[in-house]
A and B are shown apart, each in its own frame.
Chain A
C-alpha cells in the first residue's frame, strides 16, 4: 500500500446518517474476489434500481470522478466487512469526511489507505452550503490534519498512529515481524504461566 500526504480531489456531500457497511456493500456481493474490483458494488442498492440501472437522482450517480465523500454521523457502522472499504477504494475514494465513524470501519479504512477524517457536524453543514449539491474541489493535507474547501480551512481529527500509518503506507505484518523475538518471549511466558490458555482438545 502506497503512503500519501496530500490529496486534491472532487468532494461530494451525501447527507445521510448511519450509512452502515451493509449499505456500503450488500452481503450478496462479498463472494467476489477482490481482483475483480468492488467499485461497482459501492452503495449498490441505493444507487441502482431493480434492473441494475443507476438511478438518476442519487448524488453519486450525477458526478464523475469524486474521490472525497462528505457524509453523516456513524458512517461505516455495523458489520466488520472490509469489503465496504474495498468498494470505496475501488470506486476511487481517498477520504471520507464525517462527524463519526464505526470503529472497525475506521480501522479497516486505514489499512487500505482511505482517510476517515472526523470533523464536527456544523463544519459538515458549512461544507454542504459551499458545495450546494454539486461536487467541488477539496484538498487534504495529512501532515497538518487540514482540509480546504473554498474559503473553509479546518482541521480534522485522526488518531496519530493512524496518521503516521497512512503517510507511510505501512504494512503491519512487516512492522510486526521486526518484533518476532519479543512476541516469542511473550508466548513462552504465557504458555508457562497460563497453560490453560492453550486448548486441550480432543484432537
Chain B
C-alpha cells in the first residue's frame, strides 16, 4: 500500500511533467490568467516572436487598472494605455478577454471561481501574488513573476521546486461577527509574515469546513501575507454546490467523473505535514491591523503595542510603524478615528462580504466618506438585485464599478497622504493605498462598523439584534 499523501502531494503528482536532477519539477498549467500588469511578459514573448502555447487555457482580465467610475472615457492616458495594451495582446494571441464592458468582468481572483474556470484539481497560475485564492477549491494555485508568466504563455508549463507542506487547523466554531478575514489576520499575527515562507498551506478544521466558498477564498487569498505562495482547502459538498452550473465548469457526465476525482483530493488520514499548527476558533476576535505589515494585527479589544515592551527584535519596527501610522503606544485600538473606508478587493469583494457589510449598515448613516467596489460586475448585479446598493447609498457611501481599485491604487483610487482608511483589503504596507496613506485591515463588517461610528469599532456591538 502506498503511504498516505497530502493534498499537495496529489496535486503535485498529477501535474508533474518531469523532474530535473536538482529536484525542480516542470509542472503542467491548466489555467493561466493574465491582466494588464502582464505587459512585460507579452513583451518578452514578442521579442522572441513566440505564440501563446494554449490560448484556450489562457484568459485575460481587465482589473488592476480598471476605472471604477466613468469607464467609457478614461482620462489618464497611462491607464487607458495599459488596458489598450492588454486588448492588443489578447487580440493578437486570440485570448478570451473579460473587458471593462463585459458583464463577467471583475477582479481576476473573483471571476475565475465565478465563471467555473477555477476547479478542484487544477493548477492555476497568474502574475499576481493573491492567486492562492483559487486554492480554496482544492487547486494548486500560485502567483508568479513576469518572466514566469512569459514562460507559461510560451510553454503552458512552469518550473517549481515542491514547497514544504504545512497544515493550519482552526478547531471549533467562530463566534458571531468573526469571519475568515479574522482567522487569517490572527494566524499571520501569531506566526509572522514570514511564518509560512517556503510552505504550501492547507487549511483544515471545523471552522474552515464551516466556511462558505467566499470565506475559504478570503482565507486562501491571504496566505501570501503569511509568506505562503499556496493556500488550499480540500473540496467538499460546499465546493461542488458552488460550482454547479457555472459556465466553464464541467457539465453532466463530465461533472460526475470530475467529482469522483475531486473527492479523492483530500489529504489522506495519517499523512504527515512538515509543519502543523492549530488554533482555537473561539479564541479569535474581530482583528485589526495597527501597523504597516499584516502581522501587526491585534483583536479589536486590544491596545496598541508599546515599543519598549515589545520583543527586542521588534522594538524598532514597532516604533517605525506607529510613527508612520500616527498612533500613540498603549491607546486602545477601538476608538481610533478613521477618515474614510473602503470595501472591495480580491480578498473581500464578494457577495457575502457585501451582505455582511450591509447587515451592519442597514438603516444607519456613515459618518465618514467611503467607497464600495464590488469584486466583479456579477457581484455588483447580484448586490443590486438584493438591494444592497440602496443600503450603501442610503448610508452615504459611494457604490462604484468593479476592479482592484483602492487596494492597490493603480486606477487612481487612492487614499490621501496621512489619511486613515479602514479597509477590507490585504496589505497595509506603507504607501500601498497611496503615498503616506494609513491603512487598517479588517473584515468588511468591521469596515462597515468603522463607517458608522467614524472610528475603529468592535462590530459585535453593532450586530446585536440583527440576524446574521
Q: Which residues in A have some Cβ–Cβ distance to B below 8 Å? A: 16-18, 20, 22-23, 26-28, 30-31, 33-34, 45, 73-74, 77-83, 85, 100, 102-104, 107-108, 111-112, 159-161, 164, 172-173, 176-177, 179, 182-183, 186-187, 190, 194-203
Contacts and interface: CB of A to CB of B under 8 A. Distances in A.
B248 A201 contact: yes
A203 B261 CA distance: 25
Given A80-B127, A186-B28, 10 more contacts: A22-B429, A33-B39, A82-B40, A82-B145, A83-B40, A104-B144, A179-B18, A187-B28, A195-B257, A196-B261
Given A80-B144, A164-B22, A190 B435 contact: no
B122 interface: yes
Interface in B153-188: 154-157, 159, 161
Interface string B4-36: 000000000010011010111010101100000
B219 to A, nearest CB: 18
Given A30-B410, A173-B154, A81 B37 contact: yes
A172 B117 contact: no
A183 B155 contact: yes
A162 B78 CA distance: 35
Contact of B148 (A111, A199, A200): A111
B362 interface: no
B146 interface: yes
Contacts of A112: 147
Interface of B: 14, 17-18, 20, 22-24, 26, 28, 30-31, 37, 39-40, 43, 48, 50, 56-57, 65, 78-79, 81-82, 96, 116-117, 119, 121-122, 127-129, 143-148, 150-151, 154-157, 159, 161, 193-194, 197-198, 224, 227, 229, 247-251, 254-255, 257-258, 261, 292-293, 317, 320, 408-410, 427, 429-432, 435
15 contacts: A31-B79, A74-B194, A77-B194, A78-B427, A79-B128, A80-B129, A81-B145, A82-B147, A102-B227, A107-B144, A172-B147, A173-B48, A177-B155, A202-B247, A202-B248
A159 B57 contact: no
A199 B57 contact: yes
Contact of A176 (B119, B159, B198): B159
Given A161-B22, A173-B154, A203-B96, A104 B431 contact: no
A201 B247 CA distance: 6
Contacts of B249: 200
Nearest to B50: A173
A27 B408 contact: yes
5 nearest A-B residue pairs (beta carbon): A108-B145, A111-B147, A196-B258, A82-B146, A196-B250
Contacts of B255: 196
Contacts of B254: 195-196, 200
A202 B409 CA distance: 33
Contact of A186 (B17, B82, B251, B430): B17
A22 B24 contact: no
Contacts of B143: 80, 104
Contact of A34 (B22, B43, B127, B144): B43
B155 A173 contact: yes
Given A107-B145, A179-B26, A28 B410 contact: yes
Nearest to A72: B317
Contacts of B50: 173
A173 B159 CA distance: 10
Contact of B26 (A77, A183, A197): A183
A190 B96 CA distance: 23
Nearest to A172: B151
Chain A CB count within 10 A is highest, among B43, B151, B431, for B431
A175 B371 CA distance: 47
Given A45-B435, A78-B427, A200 B197 contact: no
Contacts of A26: 431, 435
A201 B128 CA distance: 24
B144 A103 contact: no
B23 to A, nearest CB: 7
Contacts of A22: 427, 429-432
B261 A187 contact: no
